Amino acid sequence: MKVKKTLLYLSIPLLLIFAIILFIALPWLLIFIGNQLEPNPSHPEITYGKFPFRLEYEINGQRKVIQDTLICEYDGIGSNEARGKYRKWKERLAGGDRLLPVLGVNSRIEISYYPGIAEYYMGDLDSTDEYQQTVADSIFIEQEGIIIKKDGRVFENDGRTINTQFSNSNELLDKYHIKLISWDSTPPIKDNFPEAK
C-alpha cells in the first residue's frame, strides 16, 4: 500500500510535467508534420542565373562605381512554419563578398550595398509578394557586424524594429555625404515552374 502511494505521488508531478511539455510542443509538432505531408513545389526550369549590376555614387564630391555580378542558384526545397514548403535559392556575389562596402563611417559602422534577393531575380516571388528593387532598399548600415538598417526598417542591435524611417537618398546625402547617382541592374528572368508529374 505504501509503495502504491509513493508511486502515485511520484507519477502525478511527472504526468503534470509531461502534460505541460505536450501542451507546448504539440502545436509545433503538428505544424512540422503538416509541412512534411505537403507536396513539394515544382522544380524550376532555370536553376542558375547571373545578374550584373552597377552602382554609381559620390562621397564628398569623389565619384565611385561598384560593379559586380549577383549569382543566383537553386538550392533545393526548404520548409518552415510560415511558408510551408518552398523553393530555396542562394545568392552570392561574383567578387566573393556578402555585401559590397560603400563607406566605412568609422571602426564600428560600415555602409554597404546589397543587390537583392535571388527569388526576385529568378522570377520566383510568391503571387502575393510584391518586390521592386531600388537603390535605397539595397543600402545597409552595419554596426560591429550587426545590420542596424535594412529593408526600410531601423534595428536596434538586438534586432528589434524601433523605427520605420529609411536611410533614403536624402538621409544618405545629409548624414553620410553619399549621393546616389545611378543604379543599373539586369532585370529578373521569367522562369517556369512546371507541375511535378
Residue 123 lies in a domain: yes
Whether residue 57 sits in one domain with residue 10: no
Q: What is the pLDDT of residue 32?
A: 86
pLDDT per residue, tens digit, the chain (197 aa), is 677 778 777 888 888 999 999 899 998 888 888 888 889 888 899 999 999 988 888 888 889 888 889 899 999 999 888 888 889 999 888 887 766 666 666 666 667 777 778 888 898 876 545 555 555 445 555 445 444 444 444 444 444 433 333 345 566 667 777 777 777 888 888 887 777 55
Of the chain, the end-to-end C-alpha distance in Å amounts to: 64
Q: What is the pLDDT of residue 104?
A: 65
Whether residue 114 sits in one domain with residue 78: yes
Residue 196 lies in a domain: no
Whether residue 65 sits in one domain with residue 23: no
Whether residue 128 sits in one domain with residue 175: yes
Distance CA(121)–CA(191), nearest Å, equals 10
48: its cell numbers = 542558375
Q: What is the pLDDT of residue 123?
A: 86
In angstroms, what CA-CA distances link 183 with 93, 104, 149, 151, 174?
16, 20, 20, 17, 20
Q: What is the pLDDT of residue 72?
A: 93
Residue 160 lies in a domain: yes
Residue 105 lies in a domain: yes
Distance CA(169)–CA(136), nearest Å, equals 7
Whether residue 92 sits in one domain with residue 30: no
Question: Domain range spanning residue 6?
Answer: 1-37
Q: What is the pLDDT of residue 136?
A: 47
Whether residue 75 sits in one domain with residue 20: no
Report phi then psi at 165, rounded to 5: -75, 150
Whether residue 153 sits in one domain with residue 71: yes
Q: What is the pLDDT of residue 20?
A: 93
Residue 194 lies in a domain: no
The domain tally of the chain equals 2
Grid cell 509545433 is found at 28
